Amino acid sequence: MIHKYQYKDQSIVLDINSGAIHVVGDIIYDILDHYKERAAEEIYEILGAKYSRADLEEAMADIAYLEENGMLYADDSQVTMDMLEGRGAVIKAMCLHVAHDCNMTCKYCFGDKGAFEGVRSLLSLETGKKAIDFLLQHSGSRRNLEIDFFGGEPLMNFEVVKALVSYGREAEKPYGKNIRFTITTNGLLLDDAKAAYINENMDNVILSIDGRPQVNDNMRRTVNDKGTYDIITNNYLKFVEKRKGTYYVRGTFTRENLDFSEDVKHLVDQGFKNVSVEPVVTDPSMSYALLDEDRDRICEEYDRLTDLYLEYAKEGKKFEFFHYNVDLNQGPCVVKRVSGCGAGTEYVAVSPEGDIYPCHQFVGNPEFKLGNLNAGEFKNNWYDTFNRAHIYNKEKCRTCWAKFYCSGGCHANAYNMNNDIMKPYELGCDLEKKRIECAIAIKAILSADEEA
């Protein structure tokens, strides 16, 4: 199985199962339209008016060499069902909701402005300790674990966050584990003291902001209905100036800012070098929801963003755009590429009340509740469903060229849009495929420039 496309002056061929990527000339690009369906003589006849017989034979030999060496039309026999579904219930990552409360009222918030369809509450230290113990006890032989402090707004409960980091560092020792801590914040409470602590103790930091002032303040407002851009931008710039580890400023684009490449540009020009701006996924009845009719416009905007990325790279102002960071060396292990984030199997979320869910986007939905830490209850009745929700069991994914890059998409988006985690969110799929094509083209273009 291959996927071929052209981007600017590059002709690109992806071998889906091996992960090999080839930048080819016109002759090979044209031959591949017929290679598997026609005999060599038929191909020579079809393309004989455009290329010489000798050139066609040489190109056919090159294709045959790639095929024989597993770099083109490779099979996927290395992937077995036991590999995918026989891993056992081992949890390696947790989204710990330290605050079901927020000092913002973002219009598109999937978490009910921080309350997650429940009462506003803060995680207690004792429940947080139980969450860390739960992760350690269910992590099997996994050494490296992850905890994301999430909300609502976790800085509203920052003393508990600090206490839990200290507790985790001691609790991990008898297990021989290493917990990587992450925090996601809206930035309103990110003062110098909190920034210094986060820089010292958090392996990754997500800073929420949507881009240009008018775009950000349209969606991300305080509980007093005031804009947030000026406050958070000032806080973030001071933070990233001293940041030692990984960070991303993370935004959301909606139907009200389909020119989102301008928001990326604005953030980069402000001084942020790691940017993620992602499409909103919400009820289609909302005025800001992305619709199927926006697909072409959004894809054009990714092209504009690609141009910006290339322009800045050539000017020595390179930045990272999260969705354009494609690992051409196959990236994560095959199980990760086939099964995705691990929601409901390797990944869980815990609410302030100690309720356990498959991931942060299912929190508050009683149908997906897996147990409660304070009651000492945990029974993952959804494990088999999520464990089987990989690309070989999703009908639309099996024949999709992008399946090893997106890993079947987000389970929560599939459920929220189609009421079925086995049916991927179609618009999301199309946009992901566009981003992958742009990302690979960027690598090819920059590589060609370096060789020139």
> For the segment 56-107, what is each residue's pLDDT rounded down to a tens digit?
999 999 999 999 999 999 987 766 666 565 666 789 999 999 999 999 999 9
Q: What pLDDT is recorded for position 82?
A: 61
- Taking the mean position of all CA atoms in its chain, how far away is CA 421? 17
- The string of pLDDT tens digits covering residues 283-297 is 999 999 999 999 999
Q: With residue 432 as reference, give the H or E element that holds it.
A: helix 426-451
The string over 371-382, giving b where at least 16 C-beta atoms fall within 10 Å of a residue's C-beta and e elsewhere, is: bbbeeeeeebeb
Q: How far apart are CA 244 and CA 226, in angstroms?
A: 32
State the DSSP code for 366. G
User: CA nearest 240: which of 319, 163, 308, 179?
Assistant: 319
Q: Reply yes or no on whether the pLDDT at 182 is more than 90.
A: yes
Tokens 């969450």 appear where?
131
Q: What pLDDT is recorded for position 447?
A: 84
The full DSSP string for 177-227 is -EEEEEEEE-STT--HHHHHHHHHH-SEEEEE--SSHHHHHHH-BBTTS-B
Question: In DSSP terms, which residues pair with 23 in a beta bridge?
Answer: 12
Burial class (CB in 10 A: 0-12, 13-18, 19+), 117: exposed
Q: Which residues lie below 8 Å from residue 52, measured CB to CB, with a gap of 6+?
A: none
336: alpha, beta or left? (left if phi > 0; alpha if psi -120 to 50): alpha
Residues in the chain: 452
Q: Give the count of beta carbons closer than 10 Å to the beta carbon of residue 33.
A: 13
- pTM for the model: 0.91
State the DSSP code for 7. E
Q: Cα dist. 269→266, 273, 274, 292, 312 in Å?
A: 5, 9, 12, 31, 10
Question: What three-state secondary structure class fits 299?
Answer: helix
Q: How far apart are CA 320 and CA 224, in angstroms?
A: 34
Q: What average pLDDT does this structure show over 190-207?
A: 97
Q: What pLDDT is recorded for position 203?
A: 96
Give the max Cα distance, the chain: 77
Percent of the chain scored above 70 by pLDDT?
92
Q: Reply yes or no on whether the pLDDT at 336 is more than 60.
A: no
**Mean pLDDT rounded to a whole number for the chain:** 92
- The string of pLDDT tens digits covering residues 119-150 is 889 999 999 999 999 999 999 999 999 999 99
The full DSSP string for 306-343 is HHHHHHHHHTT---EEGGG---TT--S-HHHHHHTT-B
Q: How far apart are CA 211 and CA 368, in angstroms?
A: 34
- The string of pLDDT tens digits covering residues 401-410 is 999 888 889 9
Tokens 């001293």 appear where?
242
Helices (H), 69-124: 81-85
Q: What average pLDDT does this structure show over 185-195?
A: 97
Question: In DSSP terms, which residues pair with 94 in a beta bridge?
Answer: 147, 348
* Secondary structure (H, E, C), 26-71: HHHHHHCCCCCCCCHHHHHHHHCCCCCHHHHHHHHHHHHHHHHCCC
What token pair was written down for 431? Answer: 């946009």
H helix count then E strand count, the chain:
17, 16
Q: How far apart are CA 199 and CA 247, in angstroms?
A: 10
State the DSSP code for 245. S
Q: Reply yes or no on whether the pLDDT at 272 is more than 90.
A: yes
Backbone angles phi, psi at 292, to 5 degrees: -55, -35
In a 13 Å sphere around the CA of 77, the CA atoms on its Cβ side amount to 4
- The string of pLDDT tens digits covering residues 291-329 is 999 999 999 999 999 999 999 999 999 999 999 987 766
Q: What pLDDT is recorded for position 115?
A: 57
Q: What pLDDT is recorded for position 432?
A: 95
Residue 23 pLDDT class (50, 70, 90 cuts): very high
Q: Reply yes or no on whether the pLDDT at 332 is more than 50.
A: no
